Every structure is written in structure tokens, then in C-alpha cells.
């Protein structure tokens, strides 16, 4: 198989929530495959630092500051990118948050905060970008789902609900937009060492449980998500649509 199938040269990728963690790693991987990168975040200093970091690695990168939970800001941000940087060929809907609490104690306000960040943002940014991609007859949208799209764990029921919805929204986007030449798929990370998971990484009981539960016997490294992103962003996946690729070290494959 030709490596050109995975070449992203000349493509422009927008990665939401990409100032750090998984988002920044995915942006780095897409950039290393040849794509120009637009990072997104809400913290101007952190976003500028991430852009500078990628540029020192030889990746053509810029930043776009907007809140993915605000549909008006999303529409304006996407317009600025399209008009100032270029047509968006690849969208990675990565932005998200985690809020842990027993479900019986979970506040309504926190529920809505989490749903806005994890689910509403995928709809807002996905729709705004797809409206630009559809007339062009092509585009790659990659939503970041989760191991929790399939399995629940104590104290994160709302997160599980949000990521299950992302999985099915991915299928819905495929059903509506595949006819226009778009491929919409998702990546479902398992447990990775990220700022979002730092409390779990530092918990000896959870760390031991996770390593025993995962066939690979370890936490994932964020760079290990890059291959799936490059595949789903490239011509190699042109007839793959509405799917979730789980990158979890084997957790979902075993009891």
C-alpha cells in the first residue's frame, strides 16, 4: 500500500481543545503527516504556547481563540479560519471536560456544563465546518469519543452519557453527510496519561487496577493516538464512515 495514502500535505486541519493533552498530540501527528494546523482553545497564553511549540518542530501552525460551547463564537471562528487561513479539510472535535461525582449527588448545573463541552460542541463545530465542506464535496471529520462510549464506571455516568451520544452523533453525521463526500468517524481513547486523567494517574489504587484490567498492562501514551487520526484524516479511509476506532490497549476486547 502506498504511503501516499496517508499523506496530508496541502490539507488544513482544525483541532478543537488542542492547547494540551490529546488535542495537541493529535495536532502534532497530523502536522507531521503534512497538514497545516489550526489549534483552538479558550486560554490565549496557553494556545500561543502550543502554536509556538509546533512551529519549533517545523509544523505550519496557527491558533484560533473561541469557545466551542458558544454557537455564535463557533460560527465566527470557523469563518475567520476559512477566510484567513484556508478551507478546512479536516476537523477533529476533541474539546471536552470531565467532572466526577456520584450520580445521586451530581448537580444539574454540572450536568449541563459537561454536556455543553462534550456533546453540544461536537454538534456546533461539526455543523459549522460541514456547511463549508458540503459545497466542496469532500471533508474529514473525526470526533473524539471514548472507551466510555461503550462502558460505564463509578462516578462518571454523565461523562459516559455524553460520550455515548458522541458515538451516535458520529453515526448520524455519517447518515446525513456521507452523500456529500464527507467521512465522519470517531476515535475512542481508553486510559491515557493526560491532564484530564492526572488525578487517576496519581491514585495508586486506580493505577494498579487500570494496569491489571488492561491487556497491554499500562496506560496509553497520547502519541499512540496519532496513527488512528492520520488514518481517518487521509485518503486511506475514504470508504470508512460512521465508525469508532477504539485505542484502548485491549480493554473492550476482554472481561
Active site (catalytic) residues: 159
Alpha carbon of 37 to those of 58, 174, 219: distances in Å? 11, 24, 27
Nearest to 60 by CA among 23, 33, 31, 21: 31
C-alpha–C-alpha distance, residues 203 and 201, integer Å: 6
Q: Are 144 and 166 in contact (CB under 8 A)?
A: yes
Give the total residue count for the chain.
255
Q: Are 85 and 11 in contact (CB under 8 A)?
A: no
Q: If you ran DSSP here, which 8-state letter would residue 34 be given? A: T
Nearest to 24 by CA among 80, 75, 82, 63: 63
Listing DSSP states for 168-234 in one string gives: HHHHHHHHHHGGGTEEEEEEEE-SB-SGGGHHHHT-HHHHHHHHHHSTT-SPBPGGGGHHHHHHHHS
Amino acid at each position: 500500500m502506498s504511503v501516499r495514502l496517508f499523506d496530508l500535505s496541502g490539507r488544513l486541519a482544525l483541532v478543537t481543545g488542542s492547547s494540551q493533552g490529546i488535542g495537541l498530540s493529535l495536532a502534532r501527528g497530523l502536522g507531521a503527516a503534512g497538514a497545516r494546523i489550526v489549534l483552538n482553545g479558550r486560554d490565549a497564553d496557553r494556545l500561543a504556547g502550543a502554536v509556538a511549540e509546533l512551529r519549533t518542530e517545523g509544523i505550519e501552525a496557527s491558533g484560533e481563540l473561541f469557545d466551542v460551547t458558544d454557537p455564535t463564537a463557533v460560527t465566527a471562528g470557523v469563518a475567520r479560519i476559512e477566510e484567513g487561513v484556508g478551507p478546512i479539510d479536516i476537523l477533529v472535535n476533541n474539546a471536552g471536560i470531565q467532572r466526577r461525582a456520584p450520580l445521586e449527588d451530581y448537580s444539574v448545573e454540572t450536568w449541563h456544563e459537561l454536556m455543553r463541552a462534550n456533546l453540544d460542541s461536537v454538534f456546533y463545530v461539526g455543523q459549522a465546518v460541514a456547511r463549508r465542506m458540503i459545497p466542496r464535496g469532500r471533508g474529514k471529520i473525526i470526533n473524539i469519543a471514548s472507551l466510555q462510549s461503550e462502558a460505564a464506571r463509578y462516578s462518571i455516568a454523565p461523562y459516559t452519557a455524553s460520550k455515548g451520544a458522541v458515538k451516535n452523533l458520529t453515526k448520524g453525521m455519517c447518515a446525513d453527510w456521507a452523500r456529500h463526500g464527507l467521512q465522519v468517524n470517531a476515535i475512542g481513547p481508553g486510559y491515557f496519561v493526560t491532564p484530564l486523567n492526572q488525578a487517576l494517574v496519581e491514585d495508586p489504587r486506580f493505577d494498579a487496577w487500570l494496569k491489571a484490567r488492561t491487556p497491554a498492562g499500562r496506560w496509553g501514551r497520547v502519541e499512540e493516538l496519532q496513527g488512528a487520526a492520520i488514518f481517518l484524516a487521509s485518503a486511506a479511509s475514504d470508504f470508512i464512515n460512521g465508525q469508532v476506532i477504539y485505542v484502548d490497549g485491549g480493554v473492550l476486547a476482554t472481561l
